[in-house]
Protein backbone atom coordinates (compact mmCIF):
# COMPACT_ATOMS: atom_id res chain seq x y z
CA UNK A 1 0.00 0.00 0.00
CA UNK A 2 1.25 3.47 -0.82
CA UNK A 3 2.28 5.68 2.04
CA UNK A 4 0.68 9.08 2.56
CA UNK A 5 3.61 10.83 0.90
CA UNK A 6 3.52 8.55 -2.16
CA UNK A 7 -0.21 8.75 -2.82
CA UNK A 8 -1.52 11.41 -5.18
CA UNK A 9 -5.19 12.33 -5.52
CA UNK A 10 -5.21 11.04 -9.11
CA UNK A 11 -3.85 7.64 -8.11
CA UNK A 12 -6.54 7.31 -5.47
CA UNK A 13 -9.11 6.68 -8.20
CA UNK A 14 -7.55 3.28 -8.78
CA UNK A 15 -7.24 2.29 -5.12
CA UNK A 16 -9.40 -0.57 -3.93
CA UNK A 17 -12.08 0.88 -1.65
CA UNK A 18 -11.18 -1.46 1.21
CA UNK A 19 -7.50 -0.54 1.04
CA UNK A 20 -8.34 3.15 1.04
CA UNK A 21 -10.31 2.75 4.25
CA UNK A 22 -7.81 0.37 5.88
CA UNK A 23 -4.97 2.90 5.61
CA UNK A 24 -6.01 5.87 7.75
CA UNK A 25 -3.18 8.04 6.40
CA UNK A 26 -4.45 7.60 2.84
CA UNK A 27 -8.00 8.37 3.92
CA UNK A 28 -6.74 11.58 5.55
CA UNK A 29 -4.97 12.62 2.36
CA UNK A 30 -8.00 11.87 0.22
CA UNK A 31 -10.28 13.77 2.59
CA UNK A 32 -8.00 16.82 2.72
CA UNK A 33 -7.60 16.89 -1.07
CA UNK A 34 -11.32 16.67 -1.78
CA UNK A 35 -12.22 19.31 0.79
CA UNK A 36 -9.47 21.65 -0.39
CA UNK A 37 -10.50 21.32 -4.04
CA UNK A 38 -14.01 22.53 -3.22
CA UNK A 39 -12.56 25.69 -1.80
CA UNK A 40 -10.17 26.05 -4.72
CA UNK A 41 -13.18 26.13 -7.06
CA UNK A 42 -14.44 29.12 -5.07
CA UNK A 43 -11.27 31.18 -5.51
CA UNK A 44 -12.39 32.99 -8.70
CA UNK A 45 -15.60 34.15 -7.02
CA UNK A 46 -16.39 37.46 -5.38
CA UNK A 47 -18.22 37.41 -2.07
CA UNK A 48 -21.45 38.54 -3.77
CA UNK A 49 -21.36 35.50 -6.07
CA UNK A 50 -21.72 33.05 -3.18
CA UNK A 51 -25.27 34.02 -2.22
CA UNK A 52 -27.28 34.20 -5.46
CA UNK A 53 -29.80 31.57 -6.53
CA UNK A 54 -31.07 32.23 -10.05
CA UNK A 55 -33.52 29.33 -10.43
CA UNK A 56 -34.98 26.61 -8.17
CA UNK A 57 -32.81 23.87 -9.70
CA UNK A 58 -29.57 25.47 -8.54
CA UNK A 59 -28.18 26.33 -5.12
CA UNK A 60 -26.01 29.22 -3.96
CA UNK A 61 -22.31 28.46 -3.68
CA UNK A 62 -22.33 29.03 0.06
CA UNK A 63 -25.10 26.46 0.46
CA UNK A 64 -22.97 23.83 -1.31
CA UNK A 65 -20.11 24.67 1.08
CA UNK A 66 -22.38 24.28 4.08
CA UNK A 67 -24.26 21.20 2.88
CA UNK A 68 -21.13 19.17 2.09
CA UNK A 69 -19.88 19.91 5.62
CA UNK A 70 -23.24 19.10 7.20
CA UNK A 71 -23.14 15.67 5.52
CA UNK A 72 -20.15 14.64 7.67
CA UNK A 73 -21.81 16.11 10.74
CA UNK A 74 -25.13 14.33 10.17
CA UNK A 75 -23.86 10.92 9.11
CA UNK A 76 -20.50 10.58 10.88
CA UNK A 77 -19.78 12.98 13.74
CA UNK A 78 -23.26 13.16 15.23
CA UNK A 79 -23.66 9.38 15.15
CA UNK A 80 -20.17 8.24 16.09
CA UNK A 81 -19.75 10.59 19.05
CA UNK A 82 -22.63 10.91 21.55
CA UNK A 83 -20.98 14.02 23.02
CA UNK A 84 -20.62 15.83 19.70
CA UNK A 85 -22.10 19.35 19.58
CA UNK A 86 -22.73 21.23 16.35
CA UNK A 87 -21.33 24.70 15.89
CA UNK A 88 -24.95 25.82 15.38
CA UNK A 89 -28.06 23.70 16.08
CA UNK A 90 -30.02 25.18 13.14
CA UNK A 91 -27.42 24.20 10.53
CA UNK A 92 -29.09 20.79 10.24
CA UNK A 93 -32.30 22.55 9.23
CA UNK A 94 -30.57 24.92 6.78
CA UNK A 95 -28.19 22.46 5.11
CA UNK A 96 -30.20 19.26 4.95
CA UNK A 97 -31.12 18.74 1.31
CA UNK A 98 -33.71 15.98 0.91
CA UNK A 99 -33.09 13.51 3.75
CA UNK A 100 -36.58 13.23 5.22
CA UNK A 101 -35.44 10.79 7.90
CA UNK A 102 -32.97 13.36 9.21
CA UNK A 103 -35.63 16.00 9.82
CA UNK A 104 -37.20 19.21 8.53
CA UNK A 105 -35.45 21.19 5.81
CA UNK A 106 -35.24 24.77 4.54
CA UNK A 107 -36.95 24.56 1.16
CA UNK A 108 -34.65 24.32 -1.85
CA UNK A 109 -36.16 27.19 -3.91
CA UNK A 110 -35.56 29.54 -0.95
CA UNK A 111 -31.87 28.87 -0.38
CA UNK A 112 -30.92 32.14 -2.07
CA UNK A 113 -33.03 34.19 0.33
CA UNK A 114 -30.67 33.77 3.26
CA UNK A 115 -27.93 36.35 3.82
CA UNK A 116 -27.00 34.60 7.07
CA UNK A 117 -25.08 32.51 7.92
CA UNK A 118 -22.44 34.56 6.15
CA UNK A 119 -19.83 33.14 3.82
CA UNK A 120 -17.30 33.70 6.60
CA UNK A 121 -19.50 31.72 9.00
CA UNK A 122 -19.69 28.82 6.58
CA UNK A 123 -15.95 28.67 6.00
CA UNK A 124 -15.53 28.58 9.78
CA UNK A 125 -18.08 25.75 9.86
CA UNK A 126 -16.05 23.85 7.25
CA UNK A 127 -12.91 24.30 9.34
CA UNK A 128 -14.73 23.05 12.43
CA UNK A 129 -16.02 19.96 10.60
CA UNK A 130 -12.58 19.23 9.12
CA UNK A 131 -10.93 19.34 12.52
CA UNK A 132 -13.49 16.97 13.97
CA UNK A 133 -13.43 14.51 11.05
CA UNK A 134 -9.63 14.36 11.00
CA UNK A 135 -9.56 13.82 14.74
CA UNK A 136 -12.07 11.02 14.34
CA UNK A 137 -10.00 9.31 11.63
CA UNK A 138 -6.88 9.55 13.78
CA UNK A 139 -8.29 8.59 17.19
CA UNK A 140 -11.43 6.48 16.73
CA UNK A 141 -11.15 2.93 18.04
CA UNK A 142 -11.06 0.20 15.42
CA UNK A 143 -14.69 -0.87 15.74
CA UNK A 144 -16.16 2.64 15.44
CA UNK A 145 -13.68 3.57 12.71
CA UNK A 146 -14.57 0.51 10.62
CA UNK A 147 -18.25 1.38 10.94
CA UNK A 148 -17.95 5.01 9.87
CA UNK A 149 -14.93 5.14 7.55
CA UNK A 150 -17.08 3.87 4.62
CA UNK A 151 -19.53 6.71 5.35
CA UNK A 152 -16.64 9.21 5.19
CA UNK A 153 -15.81 7.74 1.79
CA UNK A 154 -19.41 8.30 0.69
CA UNK A 155 -19.15 11.85 2.02
CA UNK A 156 -16.06 12.56 -0.07
CA UNK A 157 -17.75 11.27 -3.22
CA UNK A 158 -20.85 13.25 -2.28
CA UNK A 159 -18.68 16.37 -2.06
CA UNK A 160 -17.22 15.68 -5.50
CA UNK A 161 -20.75 15.61 -6.86
CA UNK A 162 -21.37 18.99 -5.28
CA UNK A 163 -18.13 20.36 -6.75
CA UNK A 164 -19.68 19.69 -10.14
CA UNK A 165 -22.97 21.25 -9.09
CA UNK A 166 -21.12 24.25 -7.68
CA UNK A 167 -19.57 24.90 -11.10
CA UNK A 168 -22.72 24.37 -13.13
CA UNK A 169 -24.76 26.43 -10.68
CA UNK A 170 -22.35 29.37 -10.63
CA UNK A 171 -22.30 29.23 -14.43
CA UNK A 172 -26.04 29.90 -14.44
CA UNK A 173 -25.61 32.66 -11.86
CA UNK A 174 -22.98 34.43 -13.96
CA UNK A 175 -24.84 33.84 -17.22
CA UNK A 176 -27.78 36.08 -16.35
CA UNK A 177 -25.48 39.06 -15.71
CA UNK A 178 -25.29 41.46 -18.70
CA UNK A 179 -21.63 42.08 -17.83
CA UNK A 180 -20.83 38.48 -18.89
CA UNK A 181 -18.43 37.96 -15.98
CA UNK A 182 -15.58 35.49 -16.33
CA UNK A 183 -15.11 32.57 -13.97
CA UNK A 184 -11.91 31.52 -15.75
CA UNK A 185 -9.61 33.61 -17.93
CA UNK A 186 -8.20 30.56 -19.70
CA UNK A 187 -8.32 31.12 -23.46
CA UNK A 188 -9.89 28.41 -25.62
CA UNK A 189 -9.10 28.56 -29.33
CA UNK A 190 -11.79 28.15 -31.96
CA UNK A 191 -11.39 24.99 -34.04
CA UNK A 192 -13.61 24.73 -37.11
CA UNK A 193 -12.54 21.29 -38.31
CA UNK A 194 -13.57 18.04 -36.67
CA UNK A 195 -13.06 14.43 -37.77
CA UNK A 196 -15.73 12.57 -39.67
CA UNK A 197 -17.87 10.36 -37.48
CA UNK A 198 -16.95 6.67 -37.62
CA UNK A 199 -18.70 3.63 -36.20
CA UNK A 200 -17.53 0.89 -33.86
CA UNK A 201 -19.25 -2.50 -33.95
CA UNK A 202 -20.06 -4.48 -30.81
CA UNK A 203 -21.21 -8.06 -30.63
CA UNK A 204 -24.40 -9.00 -28.90
CA UNK A 205 -24.63 -11.47 -26.06
CA UNK A 206 -25.27 -11.77 -22.35
CA UNK A 207 -23.18 -9.34 -20.31
CA UNK A 208 -22.59 -8.63 -16.62
CA UNK A 209 -23.77 -5.07 -15.94
CA UNK A 210 -23.14 -3.10 -12.78
CA UNK A 211 -20.37 -2.78 -10.22
CA UNK A 212 -18.92 -5.82 -8.48
CA UNK A 213 -17.92 -3.72 -5.47
CA UNK A 214 -14.11 -3.84 -5.48
CA UNK A 215 -13.98 -0.08 -5.98
CA UNK A 216 -16.16 2.56 -4.39
CA UNK A 217 -19.58 2.74 -5.99
CA UNK A 218 -23.04 3.98 -5.14
CA UNK A 219 -25.81 1.57 -4.26
CA UNK A 220 -27.62 2.31 -7.56
CA UNK A 221 -24.72 0.70 -9.47
CA UNK A 222 -25.46 -2.64 -7.83
CA UNK A 223 -26.08 -5.52 -7.87
CA UNK A 224 -24.16 -6.84 -10.82
CA UNK A 225 -26.61 -8.64 -13.06
CA UNK A 226 -26.94 -10.12 -16.55
CA UNK A 227 -28.41 -8.28 -19.52
CA UNK A 228 -28.96 -9.47 -23.08
CA UNK A 229 -27.75 -7.08 -25.78
CA UNK A 230 -28.27 -7.32 -29.51
CA UNK A 231 -25.33 -6.38 -31.77
CA UNK A 232 -24.96 -2.59 -31.93
CA UNK A 233 -22.80 0.26 -33.13
CA UNK A 234 -21.58 3.36 -31.34
CA UNK A 235 -20.24 6.54 -32.89
CA UNK A 236 -16.53 6.91 -32.23
CA UNK A 237 -16.94 10.45 -30.89
CA UNK A 238 -19.45 12.88 -29.42
CA UNK A 239 -21.85 14.96 -31.51
CA UNK A 240 -20.38 18.41 -32.16
CA UNK A 241 -21.78 21.93 -32.14
CA UNK A 242 -21.30 22.09 -35.90
CA UNK A 243 -23.48 19.03 -36.40
CA UNK A 244 -26.09 20.39 -34.04
CA UNK A 245 -26.19 23.68 -35.94
CA UNK A 246 -27.07 21.65 -39.04
CA UNK A 247 -30.00 20.22 -37.09
CA UNK A 248 -31.12 23.73 -36.10
CA UNK A 249 -30.78 25.12 -39.63
CA UNK A 250 -32.74 22.18 -41.03
CA UNK A 251 -35.69 23.16 -38.85
CA UNK A 252 -35.06 20.65 -36.09
CA UNK A 253 -36.74 22.79 -33.45
CA UNK A 254 -39.73 23.35 -35.75
CA UNK A 255 -40.47 19.77 -36.80
CA UNK A 256 -42.90 18.08 -34.38
CA UNK A 257 -42.43 14.54 -35.80
CA UNK A 258 -38.85 14.51 -34.52
CA UNK A 259 -39.86 15.08 -30.92
CA UNK A 260 -41.29 13.04 -28.09
CA UNK A 261 -44.65 14.46 -27.01
CA UNK A 262 -43.39 15.93 -23.71
CA UNK A 263 -40.41 17.44 -25.51
CA UNK A 264 -42.57 19.08 -28.14
CA UNK A 265 -44.79 20.54 -25.41
CA UNK A 266 -41.69 22.22 -23.94
CA UNK A 267 -40.65 23.51 -27.37
CA UNK A 268 -44.07 25.12 -27.74
CA UNK A 269 -44.26 26.48 -24.19
CA UNK A 270 -40.65 27.52 -23.62
CA UNK A 271 -39.83 28.51 -27.22
CA UNK A 272 -36.54 26.61 -27.26
CA UNK A 273 -34.59 27.35 -30.45
CA UNK A 274 -31.11 26.12 -29.52
CA UNK A 275 -29.13 24.57 -26.64
CA UNK A 276 -29.11 26.33 -23.29
CA UNK A 277 -26.78 29.37 -23.13
CA UNK A 278 -26.85 29.80 -26.94
CA UNK A 279 -27.79 33.13 -28.52
CA UNK A 280 -27.80 34.21 -32.16
CA UNK A 281 -26.00 37.50 -32.70
CA UNK A 282 -25.46 39.13 -36.10
CA UNK A 283 -26.23 35.83 -37.82
CA UNK A 284 -23.77 33.77 -35.76
CA UNK A 285 -24.26 31.53 -32.76
CA UNK A 286 -22.66 32.59 -29.48
CA UNK A 287 -22.75 30.84 -26.11
CA UNK A 288 -22.01 31.72 -22.52
CA UNK A 289 -19.21 29.67 -20.99
CA UNK A 290 -17.28 29.80 -17.74
CA UNK A 291 -14.55 31.31 -19.92
CA UNK A 292 -16.88 34.11 -21.04
CA UNK A 293 -19.40 34.85 -23.77
CA UNK A 294 -17.93 33.74 -27.09
CA UNK A 295 -18.72 32.32 -30.50
CA UNK A 296 -19.87 28.73 -30.59
CA UNK A 297 -16.94 26.48 -31.51
CA UNK A 298 -18.16 24.06 -34.24
CA UNK A 299 -15.68 21.34 -33.24
CA UNK A 300 -16.60 21.21 -29.56
CA UNK A 301 -19.08 18.62 -28.28
CA UNK A 302 -22.57 20.09 -28.09
CA UNK A 303 -23.62 20.59 -24.48
CA UNK A 304 -26.42 21.90 -22.29
CA UNK A 305 -29.06 19.97 -24.16
CA UNK A 306 -31.97 18.05 -22.68
CA UNK A 307 -32.79 14.41 -23.24
CA UNK A 308 -35.57 15.57 -25.56
CA UNK A 309 -33.10 17.52 -27.73
CA UNK A 310 -30.63 14.63 -27.79
CA UNK A 311 -33.39 12.21 -28.80
CA UNK A 312 -34.76 14.58 -31.46
CA UNK A 313 -31.28 15.02 -32.96
CA UNK A 314 -30.81 11.24 -33.09
CA UNK A 315 -34.21 10.83 -34.74
CA UNK A 316 -33.32 13.53 -37.27
CA UNK A 317 -30.23 11.48 -38.15
CA UNK A 318 -32.35 8.31 -38.37
CA UNK A 319 -30.33 6.94 -35.46
CA UNK A 320 -30.83 6.57 -31.72
CA UNK A 321 -29.20 7.07 -28.34
CA UNK A 322 -27.36 4.13 -26.75
CA UNK A 323 -28.80 2.24 -23.83
CA UNK A 324 -26.85 2.53 -20.60
CA UNK A 325 -25.93 -1.18 -20.81
CA UNK A 326 -24.55 -0.70 -24.33
CA UNK A 327 -22.54 2.31 -23.13
CA UNK A 328 -21.16 0.40 -20.16
CA UNK A 329 -20.12 -2.62 -22.21
CA UNK A 330 -18.48 -0.42 -24.86
CA UNK A 331 -16.58 1.71 -22.31
CA UNK A 332 -14.99 -1.04 -20.26
CA UNK A 333 -11.62 -1.32 -21.96
CA UNK A 334 -10.95 2.42 -21.86
CA UNK A 335 -9.03 4.22 -19.14
CA UNK A 336 -10.72 6.92 -17.11
CA UNK A 337 -9.03 9.64 -19.13
CA UNK A 338 -10.42 12.79 -20.69
CA UNK A 339 -11.26 16.44 -20.12
CA UNK A 340 -12.22 16.50 -16.44
CA UNK A 341 -12.43 19.36 -13.95
CA UNK A 342 -8.86 18.53 -12.94
CA UNK A 343 -7.75 20.07 -16.27
CA UNK A 344 -9.31 23.39 -15.15
CA UNK A 345 -10.73 24.09 -18.63
CA UNK A 346 -14.34 24.04 -17.38
CA UNK A 347 -15.77 23.49 -20.85
CA UNK A 348 -15.99 20.60 -23.34
CA UNK A 349 -13.04 20.47 -25.72
CA UNK A 350 -12.80 19.52 -29.37
CA UNK A 351 -11.33 16.17 -30.39
CA UNK A 352 -7.73 16.98 -31.34
CA UNK A 353 -6.00 13.59 -31.38
CA UNK A 354 -8.40 11.02 -32.74
CA UNK A 355 -7.55 7.46 -31.73
CA UNK A 356 -8.71 4.12 -33.05
CA UNK A 357 -11.75 2.95 -31.18
CA UNK A 358 -14.02 5.16 -29.09
CA UNK A 359 -13.00 8.71 -28.26
CA UNK A 360 -14.28 11.07 -25.53
CA UNK A 361 -15.90 8.29 -23.50
CA UNK A 362 -15.01 10.02 -20.25
CA UNK A 363 -15.12 13.71 -19.42
CA UNK A 364 -16.29 16.61 -21.63
CA UNK A 365 -20.06 15.98 -21.39
CA UNK A 366 -22.41 13.59 -19.66
CA UNK A 367 -23.89 11.41 -22.40
CA UNK A 368 -27.64 10.94 -22.44
CA UNK A 369 -28.74 7.33 -22.82
CA UNK A 370 -32.20 6.11 -23.78
CA UNK A 371 -32.47 4.20 -20.50
CA UNK A 372 -34.84 5.30 -17.75
CA UNK A 373 -33.32 5.49 -14.30
CA UNK A 374 -34.70 2.44 -12.53
CA UNK A 375 -33.41 -0.14 -10.03
CA UNK A 376 -31.28 -3.03 -11.18
CA UNK A 377 -32.75 -6.50 -10.49
CA UNK A 378 -32.25 -7.22 -6.78
CA UNK A 379 -31.41 -3.61 -5.90
CA UNK A 380 -31.53 -2.69 -2.22
CA UNK A 381 -30.90 0.86 -1.01
CA UNK A 382 -28.56 1.55 1.90
CA UNK A 383 -30.21 1.32 5.32
CA UNK A 384 -31.48 4.45 7.08
CA UNK A 385 -31.35 7.99 5.74
CA UNK A 386 -28.44 7.20 3.39
CA UNK A 387 -30.87 4.98 1.52
CA UNK A 388 -32.54 8.18 0.33
CA UNK A 389 -29.40 9.14 -1.59
CA UNK A 390 -30.33 7.43 -4.88
CA UNK A 391 -33.23 5.04 -4.60
CA UNK A 392 -36.10 7.45 -4.10
CA UNK A 393 -35.31 9.25 -7.38
CA UNK A 394 -35.93 6.17 -9.54
CA UNK A 395 -38.87 7.70 -11.36
CA UNK A 396 -39.20 10.13 -14.29
CA UNK A 397 -35.43 10.42 -14.79
CA UNK A 398 -33.06 9.31 -17.55
CA UNK A 399 -29.54 7.91 -17.15
CA UNK A 400 -26.39 9.71 -18.30
CA UNK A 401 -22.92 8.18 -18.46
CA UNK A 402 -19.25 9.17 -18.67
CA UNK A 403 -18.74 12.33 -16.63
CA UNK A 404 -18.08 15.86 -17.83
CA UNK A 405 -15.58 18.70 -17.83
CA UNK A 406 -16.92 19.55 -14.35
CA UNK A 407 -16.46 16.01 -12.96
CA UNK A 408 -13.40 14.95 -10.97
CA UNK A 409 -11.34 12.25 -12.65
CA UNK A 410 -11.22 10.35 -9.36
CA UNK A 411 -15.01 10.30 -9.20
CA UNK A 412 -15.90 8.51 -12.45
CA UNK A 413 -16.08 4.82 -13.42
CA UNK A 414 -17.65 2.77 -16.19
CA UNK A 415 -20.60 1.75 -14.01
CA UNK A 416 -21.43 5.26 -12.75
CA UNK A 417 -25.13 6.12 -13.24
CA UNK A 418 -25.94 9.83 -13.30
CA UNK A 419 -29.59 10.75 -13.66
CA UNK A 420 -31.67 13.83 -14.40
CA UNK A 421 -35.21 14.63 -15.54
CA UNK A 422 -35.42 14.63 -19.36
CA UNK A 423 -36.02 18.40 -19.58
CA UNK A 424 -32.84 19.33 -17.64
CA UNK A 425 -30.21 21.35 -19.50
CA UNK A 426 -28.04 23.30 -17.06
CA UNK A 427 -25.57 20.46 -16.55
CA UNK A 428 -22.86 19.68 -19.13
CA UNK A 429 -25.05 17.22 -21.05
CA UNK A 430 -24.42 16.00 -24.61
CA UNK A 431 -24.81 12.90 -26.72
CA UNK A 432 -23.23 10.04 -28.62
CA UNK A 433 -25.14 8.30 -31.40
CA UNK A 434 -25.93 4.61 -31.68
CA UNK A 435 -27.60 2.27 -34.11
CA UNK A 436 -28.57 -1.36 -34.46
CA UNK A 437 -26.62 -3.81 -36.61
Q: Given this model, what pLDDT does residue 245 score?
A: 98
Interatomic CA distance for residues 185 and 20, integer angstroms: 36
Give the tens place of pLDDT for each residue, 198-254: 999 999 999 999 999 888 999 999 999 999 999 999 999 999 999 999 999 999 999
Q: Given this model, what pLDDT does residue 365 score?
A: 98
Interatomic CA distance for residues 98 and 386, integer angstroms: 11
Give mean pLDDT, residues 139-155.
95
CB-based burial, 34-64: b 16+ in 10 Å, e otherwise:
bbebbeebbebbeeebbbbbbeebbbbbbbb
Give mean pLDDT, residues 72-81.
96
Q: In the predicted model, is pLDDT for residue 12 greater than 60?
A: no
Q: Given this model, what pLDDT does residue 353 score?
A: 87
Give mean pLDDT, residues 45-61.
97
Q: How far is CA 28 from the centre of its chain?
A: 24
Q: In the predicted model, is pLDDT for residue 4 greater than 80?
A: no
User: Where exactly are the structural domains of the chain?
Assistant: 11-175, 199-436
Q: Given this model, what pLDDT does residue 10 score?
A: 38
Give mean pLDDT, residues 375-399.
89
- The structure's pTM equals 0.94
Q: In the predicted model, is pLDDT for residue 419 greater than 50?
A: yes
Under 8 Å between Cβ of 184 and 44: yes
Interatomic CA distance for residues 384 and 194, integer angstroms: 49
| Host H or E run for residue 292 | strand 292-295
Q: Confirm whether 11-175 and 199-436 share one CATH topology.
A: no
- Rounded to 5, what percent of the chain is helix, strand, coil? 40, 15, 45
Q: In the predicted model, is pLDDT for residue 5 greater than 60?
A: no
Q: Given this model, what pLDDT does residue 1 score?
A: 28
Under 8 Å between Cβ of 299 and 322: no
Give mean pLDDT, residues 279-296.
96
Q: Domain 11-175 class? A: mainly alpha
Sequence-ordered list of residues with C-beta below 8 angstroms from that of 358, at least 6 positions apart, any chain:
200, 234, 236, 237, 330, 331, 334
3-state secondary structure 363-425: ECCEEEEEEECCCCCCCCCCCHHHHHCCHHHCCCCEEEECCCCCCCHHHCCCCCCEEECCCCC
Whether omega before 68 lies within 30 degrees of 0, making that bond cis, reads no
Q: In the predicted model, is pLDDT for residue 263 greater than 60?
A: yes
Question: Percent of the chain at pLDDT above 70?
Answer: 96
Give the tens place of pLDDT for each residue, 396-415: 999 999 999 999 999 999 99
- Fold (topology level) of 199-436: 3.90.1580
Q: How far is CA 380 from CA 154, 377, 401, in A?
A: 17, 9, 21
Interatomic CA distance for residues 317 and 233, integer angstroms: 14
Under 8 Å between Cβ of 201 and 233: yes
98 confidence band (pLDDT: 50, 70, 90): confident
Q: Given this model, what pLDDT does residue 387 score?
A: 80
Q: Given this model, what pLDDT does residue 269 score?
A: 97
Comparing 3-12, 82-91, 135-144, 304-313, which segment has the lowest mean pLDDT? 3-12
3-state secondary structure of 304: coil
Average pLDDT taken over every residue of the chain: 93
Give the tens place of pLDDT for each residue, 316-352: 999 999 999 999 999 999 999 999 999 999 999 999 8
Amino acid sequence: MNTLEETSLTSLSAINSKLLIDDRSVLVKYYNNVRAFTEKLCEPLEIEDYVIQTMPDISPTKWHLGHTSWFFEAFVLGKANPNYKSIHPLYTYLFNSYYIQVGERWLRPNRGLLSRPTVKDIFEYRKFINENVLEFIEKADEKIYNEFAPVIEIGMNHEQQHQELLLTDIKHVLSINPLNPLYSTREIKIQNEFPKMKWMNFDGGIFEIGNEGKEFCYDNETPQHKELLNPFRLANRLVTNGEFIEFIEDGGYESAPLWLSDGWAIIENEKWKAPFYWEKKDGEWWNFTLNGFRKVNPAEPVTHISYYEADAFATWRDLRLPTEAEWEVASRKYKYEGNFVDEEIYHPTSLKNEKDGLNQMYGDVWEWTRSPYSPYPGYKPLPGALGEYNGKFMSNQMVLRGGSCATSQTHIRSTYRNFFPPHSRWQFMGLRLAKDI
